Amino acid sequence: MGVGLLLGRGVPGLDEALAAVEIGSVSLPVALGLLLMMYPVLAKVRYSETGRVTGDRRLLVSSLVLNWVVGPAVMFSLAWLLLPDQPEYRTGLVIVGLARCIAMVLIWNDLSCGDREAAAVLVALNSVFQIVAFAALGWFYLQVLPGWLGLPTTSADFSVGAILVSVLVFLGIPLAAGYLTRVVGERRRGRVWYESEFLPRIGPFALYGLLFTIVVLFALQGEAVTSRPGDVARIALPLLAYFLVMFAGSFALGRALGLGYPRTATLSFTAAGNNFELAIAVAIGTFGVSSGQALAGVVGPLIEVPVLVGLVYVALWARGRFFPAS
């Protein structure tokens, strides 16, 4: 993050060069980094075992409720509570709350020893809902609900096509690649070779992709972040509260439902994480690259990355304390 901010601030024209080519409204270097990051994780998934996940209705229903009922409501409440005088930043945070995570959550889940098969299923499930529900919920939280509460409303027209492209590119491509890699690898060399020799070779590329994505992302937005530190700090407060509330509440729910540590960790990270690349793309496409809404989207990963890295350690600590048999 620091390297990216320094590059974006210190190298003239770097942000324009990185943003010159886009895939699904996302900078090509960021897109490549995300694909590189997700592929090894999805190649690790045992797709033949995902059936046991789809049969766990407690997990599926809990994830849908947390992601599409609780999460947007929590972000809406925090945005209005902490940014009542900043309509642009508030709107940007609402958009962040509607963009459910489909990329980095796989890394956080893997680092915390969560259930890989469950993560793949929940990410796919919430991606479908993202295509269907994003625009409708955006209309509800920006126009309908504020109107009911006597608050100012915001008009926004979200592109369902852009959301569909984002999901197909950033989930569809690495998911298909990971699935085909496992199927072909196991058929030719067997599961033992695939998991003991092949996966360790490609595994580090997930973290390389993560680091590359973070550097490029913050290089793209270095000027915007460093030029308004006071505004960044104000936007950071509701985001910090959001990540902590969603993670803690989801973790407590998973433990209460008896999901076991791996699925509780997966449930928590899929509920707490957000699809920052989609949120930024939607905010820029709808309100403009220099808008407050876009800045709020940019600050999202600035807070999310270190907080969720920290929550990986919290999850691992909680495993030993609350799930001693895991």
What residues are paired with 274 via a beta bridge? 100
The rounded distance, in Å, linking the Cα atoms of 64 and 86 is 30
Predicted local distance difference test score (pLDDT) of residue 326: 61
Sign of the CA dihedral with 317 first, then 318, 322, and 325 last? negative
Question: Is-contact 279 91, C-beta < 8 A?
Answer: no
Predicted local distance difference test score (pLDDT) of residue 254: 96
- Report, as ranges of residue numbers, the positions in the chain whose pLDDT lies below 50: none
The structure's pTM equals 0.87
Backbone phi, then psi, for 274, in 5-degree steps?
-135, 155
Predicted local distance difference test score (pLDDT) of residue 294: 83
Both structure tokens of 59: 């997990």
- CATH number, domain 2-318, options 1.10.10.10, 1.20.1530.20, 1.10.3660.10, 1.20.59.10: 1.20.1530.20
The rounded distance, in Å, linking the Cα atoms of 166 and 160 is 10
**292-322 helix and 104-111 helix, angle to the nearest 10 degrees:** 20
Question: Is-contact 139 315, C-beta < 8 A?
Answer: no
DSSP string, 13-26: THHHHHTSSEETTE
Residue spans of the domains in the chain: they are: 2-318
